[in-house]
Chains A and B, each alone.
Chain A
Amino acid sequence: MKNVRLLPENKTALVVIVMGFAFLILFWWYPLIRTFILGFQLSGVGRLKESWIGLAHYRALFSSKVFGKVVLNTLYFAVLIVPAQIVVGLAISVMIDKIKSRAFQRLGLLSFYIPYILPIVAIGILWKFLYHPSRFGIFNFLLIEAGMKESIRWLEDPQLALTSIGIMQIWQRVGYVILLYFAGLQTIPRIFYEAAEIDGANAWQRFRAITLPLLTPTTLFVAVTSTISAFMTFEAVYIMTLTAQAGRGGPINSTNVMLYYIYFNAFDNNRMGYASAAAIILFFMILGVTLLQFKFIRQKFEY
């Protein structure tokens, strides 16, 4: 690699690389750096010039009760849906893997996968209907039929609202996890299982000793991507929590998550600098959790 030239020998190739740099800088690197800068500035659409205000946004964020709640909500949401997606996804993909008939296998994968390809906007409206506090909301109807006293206020109870959105997201995204695990399972040589069976290992031991460790790369990928998308939840909150009295993110900020908070401050309140500071905190949350997961999962299951 030492003798590689600085510039490519060919002019067209050089033009492509320069254009690549131009677009990558304009639409990715510049916004990324600008977010950092805006975090220290007072900015909004219609203002003539940004003015520097140092750490004021960060001070305001860290002393804001609402923002504290928003961070906790976001973390809770990830803790709720990521492990659940992994456990449920793995269990169902193992079941599908056991199906003998190819056609049924395909049908199974497909049925679980369909919600993932539908827009959350439509899914959110549908689940708002399913969660309806009145008894025509099918979940409450079934629970009351099963003997529950009162209907559950899924989206109206501040203790429960975020969990309800989480359940919907698990339902919607688990098909993606199933497909990834299913693909991972196909790469494990059957001979490992046969050998373990001869040695007298039972089904659970085979799963623990062969399947789980060999699926580590998939688990790592699923954990990292699901956590990032859990941190970036926006659509579900935007669609499902709208009320006439209090807008979105409620009741009492119980479903207010990072990306919605950023959106709300930037585009409803025109506080671009403040929103950017929040975006930077989200950026470091993503970075931190990703690195942590790499370390943890590698240590625990690699051999």
Chain B
Amino acid sequence: MKEKYKIEMGKLLLGGVFFVILLCYVFPLYWMFSSSFKTAGEIIRIPPTWWPHLLSVEGYIKVWRPVWIRFFINSFIYAGGSVTIALFTSSLIGFVIVTYPSKIGTILSWAAICLIMIPFTILIVPLYLLIIKLHLLNSYLGMIAPRMVYPFGIFFMLLAMRNIPRDLIDAAKIDGCTPLGIYWRVALPLLKTSLAALATLEFVWRWNELLWPLIVASTEKLFPITVGLASLIDPYFIEFDKYLAACVIVVVPIVIMFLSLQKFFVKGITLTGMK
């Protein structure tokens, strides 16, 4: 009886420790949120106040400009556009290589697989020069173009395609279905879960990306949200109420999106990580 009591206490203690770790972990996010509703004076008060004593939206008013809506739209265009196109091309290429085996297809798959460990950002210098040469600097297309084909996506889709029963595709072939017909009607519905998982993950990465859009977009009307937020920082005149309000404006939509799509996220992480 006493033994059991001891074990229960141990568990309770462990649970308590875990809970404290969790609270410390999420504290910075709470601090961002609560500080964004403090007045400029309260935010730099010593000692700091644990919650806003005077609820104020001063920071939000200071930082809000209609162009923020534009930033959000641009992020949508950049992240949405590059993910949609990349996953479309990846799945189509993966489908064709697996369904219509050929030597040239195998070469293409290796040409993609060799690249999966190479980070995109290491190539920014020649890509920038290329974008200039193509006259795509400071345009949506310039931001999206290098993202249109995605080696890891091809690799991922090759693996996913291998798991699709051959018979289904062969049956469609015998029935006289065209390649695009098979892709659209047979392969895509079967790849749906893997695609959704990879898409959500990719979308967040593109949404959060700073470096490439920072280089390509030079006018405010093309800035995605990350570049817009970064351009706000003025080293001569730091206003934390303004910055933190901007951070909340940027963060809240992502959190909402994440909470509604978390099923796909977890799947995406485990699928891409469990290979």
Contact = CB atoms under 8 A, between A and B. Distances in A.
A187 B129 CA distance: 47
Contacts of A221: 273, 275
Given A8-B102, A10-B179, A244-B236, A238 B210 contact: yes
Interface residues of B, number: 90
Interface in A81-140: 92, 95-96, 98-99, 108-115, 117-122, 125-127, 129-130, 134-136, 138
Contacts of B25: 111-112, 171
B215 interface: yes
A4 B125 contact: no
Contacts of B14: 95, 98
A228 interface: yes
9 contacts: A13-B99, A16-B96, A31-B127, A38-B126, A113-B265, A119-B254, A180-B269, A187-B274, A235-B211
Contacts of A125: 229, 233, 243-244, 246-247
B96 A8 contact: yes
B108 A20 contact: yes
Interface string B130-168: 101000000000000110110100100000000000000
A290 to B, nearest CB: 6
B229 A28 contact: no
A275 B22 CA distance: 42
Contact of B92 (A16, A98, A187): A16
Interface residues of A, number: 93
B126 A243 contact: no
Interface string A1-29: 00011111110111011001101111111
A232 B119 contact: yes
Contacts of B108: 17, 20-21, 24
| Dominant secondary structure at the B interface | helix
Contact of B208 (A12, A23, A118, A126): A118
Contact of B255 (A45, A114, A126): A114
Given A114-B29, A126-B32, A134 B149 contact: no
Contacts of A263: 124, 211
Nearest to A50: B129
Contacts of B259: 110
Nearest to B230: A121
Contacts of A279: 122-123, 125
A46 to B, nearest CB: 10
Interface stretch (B1-9, B38-46, B189-197): B38-46
Given A27-B149, A127-B28, A136 B45 contact: yes
B60 interface: no
B125 A38 contact: yes
B274 A183 contact: yes
Interface string A216-256: 01100110100010001011001100111000000000000
Nearest to A6: B103
Contacts of B115: 24, 28-29, 32
B22 A108 contact: yes
Interface of A: 4-10, 12-14, 16-17, 20-21, 23-32, 34-35, 38, 43, 45, 92, 95-96, 98-99, 108-115, 117-122, 125-127, 129-130, 134-136, 138, 141, 171, 176, 179-180, 183-184, 187, 217-218, 221-222, 224, 228, 232, 234-235, 238-239, 242-244, 259, 262-263, 266-267, 272, 275-276, 279, 282-283, 286-287, 290
Contact of A110 (B105, B111, B262): B262
A266 B125 contact: yes
Contacts of A272: 125, 129
A118 B251 contact: yes
A29 B121 contact: no
Given A108-B22, A136-B44, A171-B25, A117 B104 contact: no
Contacts of A121: 208, 210, 226, 229-230, 250
A17 B104 contact: yes
A276 B129 CA distance: 12
Given A126-B247, A239-B230, A283-B118, A28 B123 contact: yes
Given A35-B125, A111-B25, A136-B48, 6 more contacts: A28-B149, A35-B122, A95-B14, A95-B18, A117-B204, A239-B233
B240 A129 contact: yes
B35 interface: yes
Contacts of A180: 269-270, 273
B230 A238 contact: yes
